[in-house]
Chains A and B, each alone.
Chain A
């Protein structure tokens, strides 16, 4: 099975990439290529919805972490949701993803994103000294 990546805007600050198939040595260059638009535009958050991802290898892990690094280097973050058990196991073995960036369901993720956006709106910006 090949890899599929479908990117959409959740809102003005968040892009969601729904990933399906396999992320391995063969498909990771395609993933890097397709995800790059979401990493370099003005969004603050990129969500990887891994609902259809059935397999990940070390090459795929590297791609996910390159994406995380790209988001963090512009002051944003990469969040994961719907990680399937067999993929979750690989993430856990390499202890490579902070748990606070992984969400069990879209509902849980939505609550977090809404909370963060509200917090952002409520906090006074550019407070003068």
Chain B
């Protein structure tokens, strides 16, 4: 099993280096370009969202990301110590509504749910823990 653990502050500039580290893991694990493309989309939606919204002020909090690959199965875990927030608790976006009228973030988490095999949220102590599996 290949695994990467990252820890970074909630700054926009942290997204690309974190993404690149994780994509290297997927590539080194022999995943297909199609799978890597979809995993990148999952990563962007999750990480940009948590960087932007987990904490009130940029650079004041820490985000932990771990990723592991076993065969073709990928597990991602994103943790933050922001206010309790369940991104899965919101309603699915109204796909008939004009895209600009849809709530920010709703579209991204919808894409994640459609592309992943499972997405779960848990509040553990003072942490938000979001787990995504893709097989």
In chain A, positions 78-98 with a C-beta closer than 8 Å to chain B are: 86, 90, 93-96
Q: Are B99 and A96 in contact (CB under 8 A)?
A: yes
Segment with Cβ contacts to A, from B38-46, B61-69, B75-83, B117-125: B38-46
Q: Are B114 and A93 in contact (CB under 8 A)?
A: yes
On chain A, the number of residues with a Cβ less than 8 Å from chain B's Cβ atoms is: 19
Task: Determine the chain A residues whose CB is within 8 A of the CB of B9 once the complex forms.
Answer: none
- CB of B111 within 8 Å of the partner chain: yes
- CB of A48 within 8 Å of the partner chain: no
Q: Are A94 and B111 in contact (CB under 8 A)?
A: yes
In whole angstroms, how far apart are the Cα atoms of A102 and B108 in the complex? 22
Q: Are A55 and B37 in contact (CB under 8 A)?
A: yes
In chain B, positions 53-98 with a C-beta closer than 8 Å to chain A are: 93, 95-96, 98
Task: Determine the chain B residues whose CB is within 8 A of the CB of A71 once the complex forms.
Answer: none
- CB of B16 within 8 Å of the partner chain: yes
Closest A residue to B95 by beta carbon equals A95
Task: Determine the chain A residues whose CB is within 8 A of the CB of B8 once the complex forms.
Answer: none
Task: Determine the chain A residues whose CB is within 8 A of the CB of B95 once the complex forms.
Answer: 94-96
Binding site for B on A (CB under 8 A): 24-26, 54-55, 57-59, 61-62, 65-66, 69, 86, 90, 93-96
